[in-house]
Amino acid sequence: MRRHRNVKIVATLGPSSNDYDTIRALFEAGADVFRMNMSHGTHDEQRARHAMVRQVEKDLDRPIAILADLQGPKLRCGVFAAGAADIEEGQDFRFDLDDTPGEGHRVCLPHPEIFAALEVGSTLLVNDGKLRLKVRECGADFADCIVEVGGTISDRKGVNVPDVVLPLAALSDKDRADLEFACQLGVDWLALSFVQRPEDVEEARELAHGRAAVLSKIEKPAAVNAFDAILEASDGIMVARGDLGVELPVHAVPPIQKRLVHSCRRAGKPVIVATQMLESMIESPMPTRAEVSDVANAIYDGADAVMLSAESAAGQYPVEAVATMNAVAIEVENDETYREQLEASRVASRSGVNDAIVAAAREIAETTDIKAICCFTQSGTTALLTARERPRVPIIALTPLRGTARRLCLSWGTNCFVTASVVERFKAAVVSAARAARSSGFAEETDQIVVTAGVPFNVPGTTNILRVAPCDESLIYAT
């Protein structure tokens, strides 16, 4: 089950991938992380999917990460007397708190927090941005608008407010219940929707209480503006381009994606590029050339992972979608241009011993005949720092903690192994690393590997030793 690529693949589970055989086929086709979308399905359905992933993990003896994606607050308009209304460019239209069914000139918007934040000139987007209105007058319970882009507005369509920071928590009551359920279930990552400020992340982290890593979805202009602070507060990032493309001009999304990916790489934190990557494969067994280029572009940028949403959750060809993404990744990573771009965009960080050790490991591996970099890690930090270097050789992460191994499944280039017991001596660590490199097919007995670890063992953040070691155990014991 060795992967012949470094970028990871996230596959969303849903009606099309709701049985053991399909989930196993998705993993064998290349999925490294399974996403449970908490916007859809009951807790019982999610519990069953979680159990099937864990059974695949057990049967194949490979750590698998599970990501629970929280829905976030949903802003929707009310209902219409006729079920819908047509509004035209240039006409007046009012949003208010009156729950009387709407008509052609008004509708309820049952979110007083929106009215509290609106200003004259603010933009309101309806139905994924298909309708655009500009606020000309507003108060605590109304907003009078001019329609800039008209169309049909129907019952309970989503409303976006792109140019103000809304006084809304990223976690609704449903999200809090889902978060606790997911943590008790034992997921590895929590994806937090509607992030606008670092305080949103801190709230989720406090509720998770270390039971899962917290990943922030960047899908609002406010999150882009506060990105550095959000990144510092987060364990990982998802560039959710669908909502970004609604709230920002679509041509602004590609440079934002590149900038966010680069920032995450510099920080050594995993970043997922998501949304509409192989959208046509929901109904077609073949993607479009533009979609393939989109996936390839994210990989060339050095993203840790690329994600499938409806393609694997509700599409007709879930396994084929994963296999296609896997094939694109292998092709891109075999291109010398890919390696040139990674190395040209590498940012040197030499702020401590940890940084120096992982940088030295990469340089040694790339200037001598080294087959893999093996790092012992308790919290996962050493493996993340090694992945930040984007080395040319595979990264083997060894840890006694299954939770750490699972979380690292999202990190670029890491091949995760759970050690049978806590390692106390460095020589034993070298032996374990050599065995893992050989058993996984990364090295032969006549090859050499680089081993990094921290002494004393099992103390997070103490990476301070590096050795070039043979894969032949008799030679290890002889030294």
**Which residue, 431, 452, 307, is CA-closest to 383?**
452
User: Is the separation of the CB atoms in 204 and 100 below 8 Å?
Assistant: no
Tell me the C-alpha to C-alpha distance, in Å, between residue 89 and each of 46, 86, 121, 123, 134.
Answer: 43, 10, 16, 14, 11
Q: Which residues of 152-175 are buried (b: 16+ CB within 10 A; e: fewer)?
A: ebbbebebbbbebebebbbbbeeb
Q: Residue 278's CB: how many other CB atoms inside 10 A? A: 28
Tokens at 212, concatenated: 């899962």
Strand order in the sheet with 448-454: 414-418, 395-399, 370-376, 448-454, 463-470
5, 8, 35, 362: the active-site residue: 35
Chain mean position to CA 255: 18
Maximum C-alpha span of the chain:
85
Known active-site residue 211: no
**Which residue, 248, 309, 287, is CA-closest to 123?**
248
Known active-site residue 156: no
275, 324, 386, 414: the active-site residue: 275
Known active-site residue 76: yes
3, 54, 76, 197: the active-site residue: 76
**Which residue, 127, 141, 133, is CA-closest to 96?**
141
**Which residue, 306, 216, 309, 308, is CA-closest to 267?**
216
Tokens at 254, concatenated: 């590609």
* DSSP-derived pairing of the beta strands 271-274 and 305-308: parallel
Stated as kind and residue range, the H or E segment containing 257 is helix 253-267
Q: Which residues on adjacent β-strands are paired with residue 470?
A: 448
| 3-state helix vs strand vs coil in the chain, percent to 5 | 40, 25, 35
What is the full DSSP assignment across 19-33?
SHHHHHHHHHHT--E
Known active-site residue 275: yes
The crossing angle, in degrees rounded to 10, of helices 381-388 and 253-267 is 130
Strand ranges (E), 241-376: 271-274, 305-308, 370-376
Which bin fits 168, alpha (ψ -120 to 50), beta or left (φ > 0)?
beta
CA angle 366, 367, 368 (to 5 degrees): 100
Does the CA dihedral 52-407-8-301 come out positive or negative? positive
49, 205, 217, 390: the active-site residue: 217
Give the integer Cα–Cα distance in Å for 95 and 61. 55
Catalytic site residues? 35, 76, 217, 275
